[in-house]
Amino acid sequence: MKSNTLILHTAALFIMPLQLMFSVFLLLRGHDEPGGGFIGGLVAASAFVLYAFAFGSEPTRRILRVAPRDLLAAGLLFAIASTIPAFLAGQPMLTAHWWELPLPGGSYLKLSTPLIFDIGVYAAVLGTIMTFVINLMESDE
């Protein structure tokens, strides 16, 4: 389902980067505020779906650079990996752990297992939706 309208092509090229930036904002804001990996993944998927409607499935596969099924698998691996620190510490599964990594200038980068889990959910949601959409588009073509 490729559209040949100039308006849709232009809108897709303009809106897609904004949607992807907003999806990363939602991902990083997510654990304690509204947002997170699921809604961030949905917003990212909607950006790629808009691109797919404008340009077709093959250009969308190229711009993704990773097969959607691989994104899904990587997301599941990240989600599972977020349980490892709790397992190694002898705590219940999905117990949150935080780390502060020093940065130049005296500031710190805060990382946590909930963020790793949310990144996994983000990738899994994006991979799942894009697998469905691209396969449906290719079966229609």
> 48 lies in a domain?
yes
> 81 lies in a domain?
yes
Which string of b and e fits 6-39 if b means at least 16 CB within 10 Å? eeeeeebeeebeebbeebeebbeebeeeebbbbb
pTM of the entire predicted model? 0.90
> 62 lies in a domain?
yes
Tally of structural domains, the chain: 1
> 1 lies in a domain?
no
What's the DSSP call for residue 109? E
pLDDT in tens, 92-125: 988 999 999 898 888 888 889 999 999 999 999 9
Is the pLDDT confidence value at 1 over 60?
Answer: no
> 74 lies in a domain?
yes
pLDDT in tens, 35-69: 889 999 999 999 999 999 999 999 999 999 999 99
Residue-number span of the structural domain to which 102 is assigned = 6-140
pLDDT in tens, 31-40: 777 788 999 9
> 64 lies in a domain?
yes
> 134 lies in a domain?
yes
